[in-house]
Structure 1
Amino acid sequence: MKKCLWGLVFLALALSGVRSQSKYCGNEKCPTFYKEVGSNCVYVSTKTELNWQEARETCHSIDGELLTLPDANSLREITLHLQVLGVFGNEFWIGANDKEREGSWRWIKDQSDVPMGTPFWGYNLGSHQPQGKDKQNCGILDDGFGGVMNDMECHAELFFICEYVGK
């Protein structure tokens, strides 16, 4: 640990003006709290259940945002990671919502469109999720339903997944 700390001090002095490396040690890609999953650094909360807004604020407190799943590979990688962690079968808040306009699902990280249909959203009762209309405006990763997205009432208390975005 001392070796890493001194290395960080030296690195900080040598690279003054470059983004602080104080949360890293050695060749690690991800800062404290986060694990590398595919091309992202993610934090999976499995101890504390919060509502969607509280989960988002918690992610912000560790320089993150609720998870974005821009493509099928990202969805597959995080689902496999949850299986490795042994938390398969839970529901997790992610960074999707349609709070501004019903049915217009956006990622909060960059306001891009959330992919619809297969393989992202679950299929139930003859049609794809989201089906919650104006009562369910926040997105979840429903690992118990096969690792697909679903919509949920934002005040429900669930685990959550953050991705590192920096300061």
Structure 2
Amino acid sequence: MSFDRARANCQKLQADLVHIDNADENTFLTNHLSTLKGISFWIGLTDADREGDFKWVDDNSRISFSDWSPSQPDNGGNKEDCTHIYAKWDYKWNDLNCLTPVKYICEEKKDEKKKQNINRIKTSKNFLKLIKESFKYVLCFSLKPNCVNYTN
């Protein structure tokens, strides 16, 4: 699915493409993506507005953390404006043509009104519930009744 279609699907779920804030969140995601069937997953990072100026689509902020594959981003063919996590490159980030059909990860931010510290992560094939307590994470798959604890 293209980047824009993936984002639209996330928004239908009251979410957005995932915004990776730090190394711990990135490690959490890549550890669990490696258990799924899929080679490539869109994340919510793009430089479509200005080449080389990568921003998160959910809040238009610039990146403060990144996990690019060596020699990336490279804007191959002057057509790579969207970012995906690429399994073949050890789950590192790569820029890619936004029209390329790949899987995607959605993130529903915590509900500030309810004061809950809960994030929900959705992929095109799985639904994950992520509860963050400092360095402790709990991952729940909708297709499975149990949760997997992850502590960094």
Identify which of structures 1 and 2 has the higher relative contact order when contacts are C-alpha pairs closer than 8 Å and 6+ apart.
Answer: 1
Does 2:40 match 1:97? no
Name the amino acid aligned to 1:159: K
Which secondary structure does the structure 1 equivalent of 2:83 belong to?
strand
RMSD: 1.9
After superposing on structure 2, the runs of 4+ consecutive aligned residues of structure 1 that deviate more than 3 Å are none
Q: Quote the offset at 1:82 in angstroms.
A: 1.1
2:6 is aligned, of 47, 51, 55, to 55
1:106-151 CA distance string (max 9 Å, x none):
011111112466xx0001xxxx310016310001111221111100
2:18 is aligned, of 40, 52, 67, to 67
Larger Rg: 1
1:78 is aligned, of 29, 35, 40, to 29
Does 2:59 match 1:110? yes
Q: Distance in 2 between matches of 1:122 and 1:115?
A: 16
TM-score, normalised via structure 1 length: 0.61
Q: Quote the offset at 1:100 in angstroms.
A: 0.7
Name the amino acid aligned to 1:54: R
* Contact preservation (8 Å) 1:63, 1:165: no
1:9-30 CA distance string (max 9 Å, x none):
xxxxxxxxxxxxxxxxxxxxxx
* Contact preservation (8 Å) 2:46, 2:54: yes
Q: Quote the offset at 1:166 in angstroms.
A: 7.2
Percentage of matched positions with identical amino acids = 28
Name the amino acid aligned to 1:65: D
Q: Distance in 1 between matches of 2:55 and 2:24?
A: 19
Q: Where do 5+ consecutive residues of structure 1 fail to align?
A: 1-49
How many residues align structurally? 110
- Higher helix fraction: Structure 1 or Structure 2? 1
Does 2:110 match 1:132? no
TM-score, normalised via structure 2 length: 0.66
